[in-house]
Structure 1
């Protein structure tokens, strides 16, 4: 699964002024690495307008709206760490965003795997406190 998530898909110590800037940064990682088109990032922002992608435990999982499969080139995951946090509304602060682009039904499988990892507080703290991409890969051993 290393083509789906690797060191090149991780950004540490990022900053964003708001949740939409965080989503664009998370989507840009996917775009730069050939997983999605530019339009998928717009779909990620639209998804956030419809319903928050804040998962809990300081994690948000931005992803596209239904019907955005045509903007996904191949399945991929990005992770961006925000040490200062990003306001995702309703008193929720995300310190980690995990962008998902799932091709041909892989979307829900990826969401479930990530949710199971991120439900564990120790895993979330390891992601938040990671100082290297290798540490992130160890926690998200997808």
Structure 2
């Protein structure tokens, strides 16, 4: 798998979005700005959300593009945005939007690593309590390990 799928620059401790669509755009923009995806990948993130909710539980949503958007992915990458207040994600509270782009089906491995962290309520609490983006990055750095 591609090394360092989560860069420190793709971690935001204080997201500005207040709606689901703004959060998708915010997580997607980090992927675009880091050179991992083309701008049209964000459109496919909205298409995916329209077909199936990317809400995962434990305050987490994982917006990602459709299978048809593979040509818009330049390299595998993650973005994470934490929100100070819960965002309404189709009636579910979200404090973390994790954008994912995966080359060659790497998104499945990436998804499983993120799911492991967020399935542990103690780990989620550590992420909520983290005082900075640097602390959040350190808590999630294990997703970069092969």
State whether residues 10 and 80 of structure 2, in contact with CA within 8 Å, keep that contact through their aligned partners in structure 1: yes
Q: Name whichever of 27-36 and 12-21 sits farther off.
A: 12-21
Query: How far is the alpha carbon of 1:112 from its aligned partner?
Result: 0.7
User: 1:12: Cα distance to partner?
Assistant: 1.3
Displacement of 1:2 in angstroms is: 5.6
The structure carrying a bigger strand percent of its residues is: 2
Q: Which residue of 1 aligns with 2:102?
A: 102
Offset of residue 125 of structure 1? 1.3
SS at match of 1:6: strand
Q: Which runs of 5+ in 1 are unaligned?
A: none
Asked if 1:9 corresponds to 2:10, the answer is yes
* C-alpha RMSD of matched pairs (Å): 1.2
Normalising by the residue count of structure 1, what TM-score does the alignment of the two structures yield? 0.94
- Aligned residue number for residue 82 of structure 1: 83
Compute the displacement of 1:137 (Å): 2.0
| CA deviation after TM superposition for structure 1 residue 83, in Å | 1.2
Matched, 1:24 2:25: yes
CA distance in 1, matches of 2:31, 2:59: 21
State the alpha-carbon separation in 2 of the partners of residues 117 and 101 from structure 1.
18
The number of residue pairs the alignment matches comes to 141
Whether 1:67 and 2:68 are equivalent positions in the alignment is yes
Gaps of 5+ in 2: none
